[in-house]
């Protein structure tokens, strides 16, 4: 397996080369953050910027989020999910294929800082990482965790850890895709009573602050005016009313249906650690069942909600 320093080296030289060759005006990637276990997205325009690029298990949001707002030629250092979202944006005509250069990087999954903190409640003053292990240290102590134990939930069912097929170039040795989400928990939930289902889903969002960080971190949420910001009529009240909050989450997920690449950016951005993807998964399951569709895997896909088949089966319609 390529070591992280090696990988970083390759990413940095690729970025420098792309800038030098004029293939991109900016390379979007990640750099070390200012506190332990954080990374910051970086927009590289100079060689110095490129020298800060890293691959990290602590990456949080999906870098494709930045693409639809970016006017010029742009390269993105993309894990499987970043690349899938970028492809989705091209398919949805939010960005031009010619303006996009995907530097694919093999990914072994990201870690969930919340899970780390649950296992290690002492103040963590420093964290080191390699491909498989997270080493933590604090005031007079140190410990290490296998990355496998603290993987983000979405990373455990990733079907495209390496953006093969869509990347313009690939860095690192391709990692094997994992078995897709079997939605076993949702299937089990489906058998429960209405009250239990409702309690589960309303319970998920009861801490929601309605900050909409999930929306802003989402590479699919590029609408110029989001439905929550519409004022005439105003669809959602602004208070912490349970139903307003619940409606927001239902519609947010609905708007992502057939488009979500399970990058987990929404959950990573949520300051209240809400399991937002549960709503998305409900719809992903249905999209896969009905139309066998996984977004962002090729340039010529037709998103399922932009098309139809005369024989789509909907026996609930009388």
Residues from 251 through 310 that contact other proteins (CB under 8 A):
251, 253-254, 257-258, 265, 268-269, 271-273, 279, 282-283, 286-287, 290, 304-310
Nearer to other proteins, 74 or 106 (CB): 74
Nearer to other proteins, 173 or 229 (CB): 229
Residue 196 vs residues 192, 200, 201, 215: alpha-carbon distances, Å: 6, 6, 9, 27
Query: Coil, strand, or helix at residue 295?
Result: coil
Check if the beta carbon of residue 28 is closer than 8 Å to that of residue 73.
Answer: no
* Span of 6-14, 95-103, 171-179, 248-256 interacting with other proteins by CB under 8 A: 248-256
Nearer to other proteins, 164 or 200 (CB): 200
Residue 222 φ then ψ, to 5°: -115, 10
Nearer to other proteins, 76 or 106 (CB): 76
Nearer to other proteins, 1 or 126 (CB): 126
Q: Is 223 left (phi over 0), alpha (psi -120 to 50) or beta?
A: beta
Q: How far is CA 60 from the centre of its chain?
A: 8
Quick check: 93 binds other proteins (CB under 8 A)?
A: no
Which of 13, 120, 222, 227 touches other proteins (CB under 8 A)?
A: 227
CB atoms within 10 A of CB 25: 16
Residue at token pair 């004022």: 231
**Least Cβ distance, residue 184 to other proteins (angstroms):** 14
**Least Cβ distance, residue 136 to other proteins (angstroms):** 11
DSSP tag of 111: B
- Residues binding other proteins: number (CB under 8 A): 83
Structural tokens at position 68: 């639809």
Helix (H) or strand (E) holding 141: strand 141-146
**Least Cβ distance, residue 93 to other proteins (angstroms):** 17
Check if the beta carbon of residue 296 is closer than 8 Å to that of residue 87.
Answer: yes
**Least Cβ distance, residue 139 to other proteins (angstroms):** 8
Taking alpha carbons only, the member of 39, 48, 41, 46 closest to residue 67 is 41
- Of residues 166 through 225, those in contact with other proteins by CB under 8 A are 186, 189-190, 194-199, 201, 206-207, 209, 211-213, 215-217, 225
Q: Any idea of the CA torsion for 233, 238, 240, 243, to the nearest 10 degrees?
A: 10
Which of 7, 8, 24, 36 touches other proteins (CB under 8 A)?
A: 36
Site string for other proteins, 4-33 (x = CB under 8 A): -----------------------------x
**Least Cβ distance, residue 165 to other proteins (angstroms):** 26
Residue 226 φ then ψ, to 5°: -75, 150
């Amino acid at each position: 397996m390529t070591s992280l320093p090696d990988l970083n080296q390759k990413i940095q030289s690729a970025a420098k080369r792309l800038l030098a060759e004029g293939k991109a005006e900016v390379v979007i990637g990640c750099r070390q953050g200012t506190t332990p276990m954080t990374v910051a997205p970086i927009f590289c325009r100079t060689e110095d910027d490129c020298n800060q690029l890293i691959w990290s298990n602590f990456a949080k949001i999906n870098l494709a989020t930045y693409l639809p707002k970016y006017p010029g030629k742009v390269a993105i250092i993309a894990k499987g999910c970043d690349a899938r979202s970028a492809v989705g944006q091209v398919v949805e005509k939010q960005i031009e294929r010619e303006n996009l250069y995907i530097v694919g990087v093999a990914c072994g999954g990201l870690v969930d800082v919340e899970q780390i903190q649950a296992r290690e409640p002492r103040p963590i003053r420093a964290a080191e990482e390699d491909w498989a292990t997270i080493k933590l240290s604090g005031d007079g102590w140190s410990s290490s965790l296998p990355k496998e134990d603290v993987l983000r939930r979405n990373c455990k069912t990733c079907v495209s850890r390496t953006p093969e097929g869509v990347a313009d170039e690939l860095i690192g040795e391709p990692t094997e895709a994992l078995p897709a989400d079997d939605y076993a928990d949702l299937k089990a939930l489906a058998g429960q009573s209405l009250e239990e289902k409702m309690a589960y889903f309303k319970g998920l969002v009861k801490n929601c602050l309605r900050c909409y960080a999930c929306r802003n971190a989402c590479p699919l949420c590029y609408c110029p005016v989001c439905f929550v910001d519409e004022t005439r009529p105003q669809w959602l009240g602004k208070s912490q009313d349970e139903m307003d909050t619940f409606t927001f989450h239902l519609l947010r997920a609905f708007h992502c249906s057939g488009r979500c690449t399970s990058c987990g950016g929404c959950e990573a951005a949520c300051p209240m650690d809400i399991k937002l993807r549960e709503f998305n998964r409900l719809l992903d399951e249905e999209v896969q069942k009905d139309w066998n569709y996984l977004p962002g895997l090729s340039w010529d896909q037709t998103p399922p909600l932009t098309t139809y088949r005369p024989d789509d089966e909907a026996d609930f319609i009388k």
